[in-house]
Amino acid sequence: MLTEATIRTALRDCYDPVLPCNIVDLGLLRALTITPDLDAPGANIPGVPKKYRIAIALTLSNPTEDSEPQLSAQIANCLAGLETVSQTSVTFVHDSPWTPQQITPAGRRILGLDGNPSLVQIR
């Protein structure tokens, strides 16, 4: 069965267009929904793996004209590689702006923000 953890792991291959870090560790994900796709080809055939529709809501670190289509394409391509994903939709949330405080500890390490006294620590 497809899990949220599996999706989050896959999304770590999707990178923000501005910051050199993946969208999960930057804290851009706002919501993730996994729904069985009962209309997927082979849905009622025994032995065929179940397919799921994925709905993702995320915000942008730096909203630009190119960011939304670039991230949508990255996410769709990334999740298309999972056998049990039949469809992916991405919506962008603009009323909940991203802040650096949402970066995970792993994201801070990726960006070089932890353990370097010459950099401002984001808390």
Q: What is the pLDDT of residues 25-71, one digit of tens each?
A: 999 999 999 999 999 888 888 888 899 999 999 999 988 888 999 99
Q: Which residue has the higher pLDDT, 21 or 47?
A: 21
Specify the pLDDT at position 119. 54
Give the distance, in angstroms, between the CA of residue 31 and the centroid of all CA atoms in the same chain: 9
pLDDT of residue 116 exceeding 80, the answer is no
Q: Residue 106: which pLDDT band, with cuts at 50, 70 and 90?
A: very high
- Cα three-residue angle 107-122-14, rounded to 5 degrees: 25
| pLDDT tens digits, 76-97 | 999 999 999 999 999 999 988 8
Q: How many residues does the chain have?
A: 123
What domains, with CATH codes, occur in the chain? 4-97 (3.30.300.130)
Helix then strand count (H, E) for the chain reads: 4, 3
